[in-house]
């Protein structure tokens, strides 16, 4: 639709007293606007088009400041509603405007401004209170307000990146105003350097300045009416000499468009370069039709908005040849099932890997030369550039912190567990076994995985663990036995048992060939287990104890009772650090040499007697300090005499 301009009879005289068509005077006839005036061309162009006018004494008064209603009258032409839209604006806001006693000549302009969203009723009411809405106004709008009005009239959105503004007084400018001003600079309506290097947002705006701003607003509208936009994914970029073009596709639609040094590029609202345009990237391109003899495609992009996009291609590994990886691949996620390890390939293709591409598997750095046939490979690109290779294996394992546990909407999947992996990435994995012992938020876990399916049993943390066996189970699904271990703080962890697990009773060896019946006898027994490579390879039944304690204590005192023995008195702490039951225990050592420090809080795990004191079994401890919590110390607690 071609831009419509207001008729001469509706033109604005920048003095409310001069409106009639007979008073229109061209800039060349204004006595106070000589040909060398900086705004001569703008005043001349706008007065010739009937948009502005001067005074009956053949003056323009370029330095006079513009009134609020005059700005709204100018903006009526910039907004340029159709006759039906204007009628709707008057029907919607006419009564409000009349009740505010807006002068008759400005009522339609105010209705249009309210209709477009340049103003709201509250802003109009405030302008009236400030003395701006009358035949003889006592106040004028400042430059900041005028900038906001023009940006809204042109439907420009506030920018968050305002680095294009070069005025020296921006520190005093409201952030919202800067956002609109930045958009106006991009549109060519305001100047990036302002007047003499400043914006001067608190002063009024002069008639010569308004002539230029209005001229450039009309110019922006004319340009916008000729331009078109298209959004989609870049499928081809050609930057050869004399042939800079790219192709954008969306569904069955395709657009080929040229670009050159005049084309502006942005990435997520920030200035970008033509080199940032990549295949596979989502873009919004603003373009216009041009002379085919000058452009190969017949279209030239004026602006290309790039969006930060992430995309992935998946494939079943075939081979690796130096920097080329060959896959049976698909770029459609509906052809992929990482729960069941299924992939429907679109074809076979090799992909060239960047020299420093990141290779990971389940949150850990990975040697690409170790990839196996049947591994599924994800090639992850950002803005069309390959950044990471991720490996999913039918026999993988992972470790991470539980972020979320929720029901799954996937068919045949029971739960989804989102983990923060060792490299900080968050990924979701799946559970199909309804009897799976679910972790709690914040738990650190290790799991065997089949691609992204978590096997039934947690691998558990390597090392020594203590507690009471809650249950012994066997799963035909995994063909493995497991034990559930309870600790006094309410945690329950599940561990897979090695086929040749060793059983000890206190310090005596019992057997290394246990049946499920033998294992079942361990229910409710206090045990110390050793986990290696994700399996329990040794279980020691602990006798002569009443309970197991796992929690925090504060050391109250330490007494050297012999050359190599220290007696400690400690207070158990609840989560709110309230003192409760105390305990007394003895450890080998001397005060000041690897001893526990009075007033310091420790995490401990130990078996206790009926009085709640540690007994002559394993005593594990570590300072309750995040900088040193990765390592447990272990001793034997001496019997109290």
In a domain, 287, yes or no: yes
Is the same domain home to 76 and 204? yes
Read off the pLDDT of each residue in 199-206 and give the average, rounded to a whole number.
94
**521 shares a domain with 379:** no
Let me know if residue 445 belongs to a domain: yes
**62, 162: one domain:** yes
Average pLDDT on 403-423 reads 91
Q: With 0-12 CB in 10 A as exposed, 13-18 as middle and 19+ as buried, what is 490? A: exposed
| Burial class of residue 584 in the structure, from the number of CB atoms within 10 Å of its CB (0-12 exposed, 13-18 middle, 19+ buried) | middle
Lowest mean pLDDT among 66-70, 233-237, 448-452, 533-537: 533-537
Do 526 and 588 reside in the same domain of the chain? no
pLDDT of 25 strictly over 50: no
* pLDDT on residue 190: 94
- Looking at per-residue pLDDT, the higher value among 135 and 630 belongs to 135
Q: Are residues 161 and 259 in the same domain?
A: no
Least confident range of 58-72, 88-102, 351-365, 440-454 = 440-454
User: Structurally, how many domains does the chain consist of?
Assistant: 6
pTM: 0.41
Pairing of strands 264-267, 299-307: parallel
The stretch 208-222 carries a mean pLDDT of: 93
Structural domain range at position 421: 396-458
**pLDDT per position as a tens digit, 541-569:** 988 888 888 888 999 999 999 988 999 99
Reported residue count of the chain is: 641
On whether residue 422 sits in a domain, the answer given is yes
- Answer yes or no: is 20 within a domain: yes
Of 508, 541, 574, which marks where a domain is finished?
Answer: 541
Checking if the pLDDT of 383 tops 90, the result is no
Q: Give the C-alpha separation, 158 to 182, whole Å.
A: 8
How is residue 353 annotated by DSSP? Answer: P
In this structure, the answer to whether residues 38 and 79 fall within a common structural domain is yes
162 and 25 in one domain? yes
Phi/psi for 156 (5° steps) reads -90, 140
Mean pLDDT to the nearest integer, 112-135: 94
Two tokens at 285?
A: 């391109």
DSSP string, 418-483: EEEETTS-EEEEEE--TT-----TT-EEEEEEETTEEEEEE---SEEEEEEEEEEEEETTTTEEEE
Give the CA distances from residue 428 to residues 435, 454, 458, in Å, rounded to whole numbers and listed in that order: 19, 10, 16
The reply to whether 328 and 350 lie within a common domain is: yes
For residue 513, tell me if it sits in a domain.
yes
Q: Identify whether residues 510 and 630 lie together within a single domain.
A: no
CATH number at residue 249: 2.40.50.140
Q: Which of 492, 515, 541 is the last residue of a domain?
A: 541
Q: Give the tens place of pLDDT for each residue, 307-337.
A: 877 789 999 999 999 899 999 999 888 899 9
Q: Mean pLDDT, to the nearest integer, of 434-456?
A: 81
CATH code at 430? Answer: 2.40.50
Q: Is the pLDDT of residue 75 over 90?
A: yes
Identify whether 491 is part of a domain: yes
**Alpha carbons 457 and 497: distance in angstroms, whole number:** 10
The pLDDT assigned to 484 comes to: 84
Q: Is residue 3 part of a domain?
A: no
Q: Which range among 4-13, 62-71, 580-589 shows the weakest confidence by mean pLDDT?
A: 4-13
Domain check: are 555 and 537 in the same one? no
**Are 250 and 353 members of one domain?**
no
Place of tokens 């005025």: 167
Cβ distance 511 to 564 under 8 Å?
no
Task: Assess contact for 600 and 625: CB atoms under 8 A.
Answer: no
DSSP strands (E only) in 278-335: 282-289, 299-307, 310-321, 324-330
> Which of 441, 458, 475 is at the close of a domain?
458
E strands, 358-439, are 358-361, 364-365, 376-382, 385-392, 396-407, 415-421, 426-431
Confidence of residue 19 (pLDDT cuts 50, 70, 90): very low
Phi, psi of 407, deg, nearest 5: -65, 150
Same structural domain, 509 and 478: yes
279-304: pLDDT as tens digits: 878 899 998 876 554 445 578 898 99
User: Within a domain: residue 312?
Assistant: no
Banded model confidence at residue 612, pLDDT cuts 50, 70, 90 = confident
Residue keyed to tokens 């039951």: 581
71 Cβ contact partners less than 8 Å away, ≥ 6 residues apart: 141, 146, 149, 205, 210
At residue 632 the predicted structure's pLDDT band, cuts being 50, 70 and 90, is confident
């Amino acid at each position: 639709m071609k831009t419509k301009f207001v008729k001469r009879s509706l033109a604005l005289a920048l003095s409310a007293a001069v409106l009639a068509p007979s008073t229109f005077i061209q800039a060349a006839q204004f006595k106070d606007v000589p040909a060398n005036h900086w705004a001569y061309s703008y005043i001349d162009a706008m007065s010739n088009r009937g948009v502005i006018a001067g005074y009956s004494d053949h003056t323009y008064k370029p330095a006079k400041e513009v009134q609020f209603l005059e700005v709204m009258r100018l903006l009526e032409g910039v907004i340029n509603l159709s006759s039906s839209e204007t009628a709707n604006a008057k029907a919607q806001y006419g009564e409000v405007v009349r009740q505010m006693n807006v002068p008759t000549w400005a009522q339609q302009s105010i209705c249009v401004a309210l209709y477009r969203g340049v103003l709201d009723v509250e802003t109009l009411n405030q302008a009236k209170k400030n003395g701006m809405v009358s035949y003889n106004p006592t106040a004028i709008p400042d430059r900041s307000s005028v900038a906001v009005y023009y940006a809204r009239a042109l439907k420009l959105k506030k920018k968050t990146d305002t680095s294009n503004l070069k005025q020296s007084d921006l520190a005093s400018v409201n952030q919202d105003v800067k956002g609109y001003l930045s958009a106006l600079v991009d549109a060519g309506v305001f100047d990036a350097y302002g007047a003499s290097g400043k914006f001067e947002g608190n002063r009024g705006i002069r008639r010569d300045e308004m002539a230029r701003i209005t001229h450039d607003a009309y110019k922006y509208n004319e340009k916008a009416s000729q331009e078109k936009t298209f959004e989609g994914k870049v499928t081809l970029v050609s930057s050869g000499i004399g042939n800079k073009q790219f192709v954008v596709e969306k569904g069955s639609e395709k657009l080929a468009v040229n670009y050159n040094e005049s084309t502006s590029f942005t990435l997520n609202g920030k200035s970008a370069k033509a080199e940032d345009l990549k295949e596979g990237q989502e873009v919004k391109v603003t373009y216009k039709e041009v002379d085919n003899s000058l452009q190969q495609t017949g279209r030239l992009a004026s602006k290309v908005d790039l969006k930060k996009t992430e995309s992935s291609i998946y494939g079943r590994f075939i081979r690796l040849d130096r920097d080329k990886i060959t896959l049976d691949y698909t770029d459609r996620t509906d052809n992929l099932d990482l729960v069941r390890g299924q992939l429907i390939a679109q074809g076979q293709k090799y992909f060239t890997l960047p020299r420093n591409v990141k290779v990971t598997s389940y949150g850990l750095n990975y040697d690409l030369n170790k990839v196996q046939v049947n591994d599924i490979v994800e090639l992850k690109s950002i803005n069309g550039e390959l950044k990471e290779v991720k490996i999913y294996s039918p026999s993988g394992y992972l470790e991470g912190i539980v972020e979320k546990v929720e029901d799954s909407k996937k068919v045949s999947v029971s739960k989804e567990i989102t983990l923060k992996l060792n490299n900080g990435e968050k990924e979701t994995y799946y559970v199909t076994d309804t009897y799976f012992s679910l972790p709690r938020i914040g738990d650190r876990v290790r799991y065997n995985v089949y691609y992204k399916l978590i096997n039934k049993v947690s691998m558990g943390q390597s090392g020594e663990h203590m507690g009471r066996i809650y249950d012994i189970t066997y799963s035909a699904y995994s063909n493995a036995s497991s034990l559930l271990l309870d600790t006094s703080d309410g945690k329950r962890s599940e561990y897979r048992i090695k086929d040749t697990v060793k059983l000890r009773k206190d310090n005596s060896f019992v057997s290394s060939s246990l049946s499920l019946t033998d294992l079942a006898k361990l229910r409710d027994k206090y045990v110390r287990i050793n986990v290696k490579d994700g399996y329990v390879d040794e279980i020691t039944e602990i006798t002569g104890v009443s309970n197991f304690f796992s929690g925090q204590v504060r050391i109250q005192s330490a007494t050297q009772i012999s050359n190599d023995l220290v007696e400690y008195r400690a207070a158990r702490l609840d989560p709110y650090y309230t003192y409760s039951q105390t305990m007394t225990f003895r450890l080998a050592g001397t005060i000041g040499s690897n001893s526990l420090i009075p007033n310091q809080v420790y995490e401990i795990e130990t078996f206790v007697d009926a009085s709640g004191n540690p007994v002559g079994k394993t005593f594990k401890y570590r300072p309750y300090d995040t900088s040193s919590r990765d390592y447990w110390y272990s001793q034997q607690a001496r019997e109290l005499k």
